[in-house]
Amino acid sequence: MSIFHLLDLLGTASFAISGALMAMNKRMDPFGVFIIAFVTAVGGGTLRDILINRNPVTWMSDLTYIYVIFLSVVIAVLFRSKMGYLSKSLFLFDTIGLGIFTIIGTEIGIQNDFHPIISISLGMMTATFGGVIRDTLLNDIPVIFHKEIYATPCIIGAMIFLLLNYSHINPDLNYVITITIVIIIRLIAVKFKLRLPAFKEKI
C-alpha cells in the first residue's frame, strides 16, 4: 500500500468520525449517523471525481473506503463517551481530515496534468465539500461560509505542496510538511478566532 493510499484512507476515517460525532450530537439514529459519516468522508472526493470524469469514483472502485467508514462509525459510537468533549474531538478529526484531503485532491490534480489553479481548487474542494454536504443535510449553515477560516488553510497548503513538488522534494516528505501546515494554520485560526470579514445586515 502506497503512502498516498494510506493517507487517503486515514483522511476518510478522520472525516467519517467527525461526521458521526456531529450526527450523534444531533441525536440521529444509527442509519442517520452512518449516512452523515459517509457523505462527510467521501462527498468532496466524489464531487472531485465527477468533475474530472474519473469513472468510477474512488469509493466505488475500492470497497476498502466503505469498510473504513463503517469501522470509523463503530469506533465513534462505541468510544464517544471516552473522546472527551465532543466538540473538541469533532474539531480534531475534522482538522486532520482537512489537512490530508487537501493534499490528496491537489495530488490528483497534478496526476491528471491540470493547471496549478485547478489542482489547488480540487484540493480545496476535496477537503471542504464533504463538510458542506454534511452541514446542509444537518440543516446548518456550512462552516466554510460563516465561521472561522476554513478553506484558506487548504488553499495555502495546496500552494505550498505545488511549490515543493516543482522543487522535486521527496514526495513523502512533501505530504508530511504540507499536511502539517494545513493543520497548524487551522489550529491557529481557531485559537485566535481569525475570520474573514462578513457582510453586515443592511439597516
Residue 86 pLDDT exceeds 70: no
Q: Domain residues of the chain, as ranges?
A: 3-191
Q: Across the chain, what does the average pLDDT equal?
A: 93
* DSSP category for residue 55: S
| Lookup result for grid cell 489542482 | 119
Cα(54)–Cα(198) distance, rounded to whole angstroms?
Answer: 36
Pair 7, 97: CB distance under 8 Å? no
Q: Closest Cα partner for 125 from 50, 192, 22?
A: 50
pLDDT at 203 over 70: no
The pair phi, psi for residue 194, each rounded to 5°, is -80, 130
Class of residue 201 by CB neighbours under 10 A (exposed 0-12, middle 13-18, buried 19+): exposed
- Indicate if the pLDDT at residue 84 is higher than 60: no
Is the pLDDT at 7 greater than 70, yes or no? yes
Mean pLDDT for the stretch of residues 28-56:
97
Please state, in angstroms and rounded to a whole number, the distance separating the CA atoms of residues 66 and 148: 30
What are the pLDDT digits (tens) for 122-153?
Answer: 999 999 999 999 999 999 989 888 766 899 99
pLDDT level of residue 93 (50, 70, 90 thresholds): very high
Assign 3-state DSSP to the chain and report helix, strand, coil percentages, each to 5: 75, 0, 25
